[in-house]
Structure 1
Amino acid sequence: MGFCDDIWAEVAPLRQAILGHPFLDELARGTLPRPSFQHYIVQDSLYLAEYARVLAIAAARAPTAAGRLEFSDGAKVAVIVEEGLHQAFFAQFGVNAEMAAAAEPTPACLGYTSYLASLAATRSYEELIAAILPCFWVYWEVGCAIKPLAASPNPYAPWIDTYAAPEFGAATDRVRALVDAAADAATPATRAAMAQAFRMATRFEWMFWDSAYARESWPIGFA
């Protein structure tokens, strides 16, 4: 087994917690409360704007042409998703431009994007791409798990279809291959750091959905 298979098996309990989260269960049933999805889609828009920047940095730091192409394309897709799917959901679920512009990242969103940005700025390329991978792989697993169970009709069907699409699975496989190649050439210490980065990013994936379900905000604001 390669690095990705090993770390994927290691985080299996966390993956099961994600798949069993009520946010995703209710999304599949089509019963997720509208305000929870509004919260999620606004925060995901904020997240993807920062994730695109991190992918662009990964592309610039990639030692191979394959890595430069994959991560630069990924940055482009993140922007397209934010501008396309999110804008459609904003219209469908009553998020106007003023609401989106006024939104600030929640602790979960800011924690996740800040963690990725810190890796991009201060840690190795290998750690960075290991932390990038869960956003692809976890969403692909979620999309594939939900799609066969999803109610029809379902107001969240376009979201499910996006992440269960074969094209998204192919992109996930390409990023996995880049991470495995980096791990194969890495020292044991770097591989250990990659594993920790993957674990941490996967934790943030769970936190992101949990914060949306709870409609999390900052515990104290400004007067």
Structure 2
Amino acid sequence: MSFCQNIRKETNRYFEESFRHPFVKGLVNGTLPVEKFAYYMLQDAYYLKHYAKVLALTAVKVEKEADMKLFLEKAQFVQQSELMLHSTVFQELGITEEEVAHFTPAPAAYNYVSHMYQAVYNGDAAESFAAMLPCPWLYQEIGERYQDAKPGVKVYQDWIDMYSDSSFKQSIEEQIEMMDRYACENPHKSEILKQHFIRSCYYEWQFWEMPWTMQDWEREVKKYELVEHL
């Protein structure tokens, strides 16, 4: 099997946990409380802003012009399509500019972004891409699995429609092919590529937990304080 076939099999538990996570299930069946979705979209906008930057930083590290073009195109897609959806959703949900301006990333979002920056600054393009690929791959599989869902809530339907689009699947197939090529070109780095991918899968799962529990720094500190007193 190829690198991506192997790593997808090894991380299947994270994909399956995401498919059946109460946040995702609530989104696709329309029962997700809107305040949790609003919280998620704010955190996701923060994540995607930095995801686009990591894509651009990765483009600088590649030698092949075609690879550079792909990374820059993906960064542009995030800016023009995904973040545009977030902007529209903010308006539909009544999220104000003041709320956006005073936004604070939750621990899970902050840790995930830090993980990607660590990969791109301390590694090469292959390492950076291994840390980035789980995000769009997982979303494409969620979109495909629930493409026939009718949540009855416009903003949820728009989210499903974006990630179930056939062009998004084609993009993922191109990215998987690229990741396999990078793995073949860097056999001595197979373990670190694997670890970057696995950690991102873990953070993806945490990204659903984050809005479901409305995670914030204060509650996280109190949780550890409680453990210390037990």
Q: TM-score, normalised by structure 2?
A: 0.91
TM-aligned CA distance change 1:82 to 1:155, over 3 Å:
closer
- Structure 1 gaps of 5+ residues are none
Would the aligned equivalents of 1:119 and 1:128 in 2 still touch at CA under 8 Å?
yes
Shift of the alpha carbon at 1:139?
Answer: 0.5
Aligned to 1:141: 141
- Take 2:19 and 2:116, find their aligned partners in 1: how far apart are those partners? 23
Would the aligned equivalents of 2:59 and 2:71 in 1 still touch at CA under 8 Å?
yes
- Take 1:14 and 1:82, find their aligned partners in 2: how far apart are those partners? 23
TM-aligned CA distance change 1:71 to 1:54, over 3 Å:
same
Would the aligned equivalents of 2:107 and 2:217 in 1 still touch at CA under 8 Å?
yes
TM-aligned CA distance change 1:68 to 1:29, over 3 Å:
same
- Take 1:212 and 1:79, find their aligned partners in 2: how far apart are those partners? 22
Aligned to 1:132: 132
- Take 1:9 and 1:135, find their aligned partners in 2: how far apart are those partners? 16
Instruction: Name the aligned partner's letter for residue 141 of structure 2.
Output: E
Would the aligned equivalents of 2:140 and 2:169 in 1 still touch at CA under 8 Å?
yes
Aligned to 2:22: 22
Instruction: Name the aligned partner's letter for residue 64 of structure 1.
Output: K
Would the aligned equivalents of 1:137 and 1:172 in 2 still touch at CA under 8 Å?
yes
How many residues align structurally?
Answer: 220
Structure 1 stretch displaced more, 148-157 or 102-111? 148-157
Aligned to 1:86: 86
Would the aligned equivalents of 2:48 and 2:83 in 1 still touch at CA under 8 Å?
no
Aligned to 2:74: 74
Would the aligned equivalents of 1:28 and 1:147 in 2 still touch at CA under 8 Å?
no
TM-aligned CA distance change 1:195 to 1:85, over 3 Å:
same
> Map of 1:40-119 to 2, 5 A cutoff?
40-119=40-119
Would the aligned equivalents of 1:52 and 1:78 in 2 still touch at CA under 8 Å?
yes
TM-aligned CA distance change 1:112 to 1:167, over 3 Å:
same
- Take 1:147 and 1:77, find their aligned partners in 2: how far apart are those partners? 21
Would the aligned equivalents of 2:140 and 2:164 in 1 still touch at CA under 8 Å?
yes
Q: TM-score, normalised by structure 1?
A: 0.94
Q: Secondary structure at the match of 1:42?
A: helix
Aligned to 2:225: none
- Structure 2 gaps of 5+ residues are 221-230
For 1:117-152, what per-residue CA distance to the aligned partner results, in whole angstroms no more than 9, with x for missing partners? 011111222111111101110010011112223334
The question of 1:200 aligning with 2:209 is answered: no
TM-aligned CA distance change 1:41 to 1:148, over 3 Å:
same
Would the aligned equivalents of 2:132 and 2:200 in 1 still touch at CA under 8 Å?
yes
Q: Secondary structure at the match of 1:31?
A: coil
For 1:166-209, what per-residue CA distance to the aligned partner results, in whole angstroms no more than 9, with x for missing partners? 11111111111111001011123x01110110000111111011
The question of 1:180 aligning with 2:180 is answered: yes
- Take 2:154 and 2:97, find their aligned partners in 1: how far apart are those partners? 25
Would the aligned equivalents of 1:30 and 1:155 in 2 still touch at CA under 8 Å?
no
- Take 2:190 and 2:207, find their aligned partners in 1: how far apart are those partners? 26
Structure 1 stretch displaced more, 151-160 or 80-89? 151-160
Would the aligned equivalents of 2:59 and 2:125 in 1 still touch at CA under 8 Å?
no
Shift of the alpha carbon at 1:82?
Answer: 4.7
TM-aligned CA distance change 1:124 to 1:40, over 3 Å:
same
Would the aligned equivalents of 1:30 and 1:154 in 2 still touch at CA under 8 Å?
no
Would the aligned equivalents of 2:52 and 2:74 in 1 still touch at CA under 8 Å?
yes
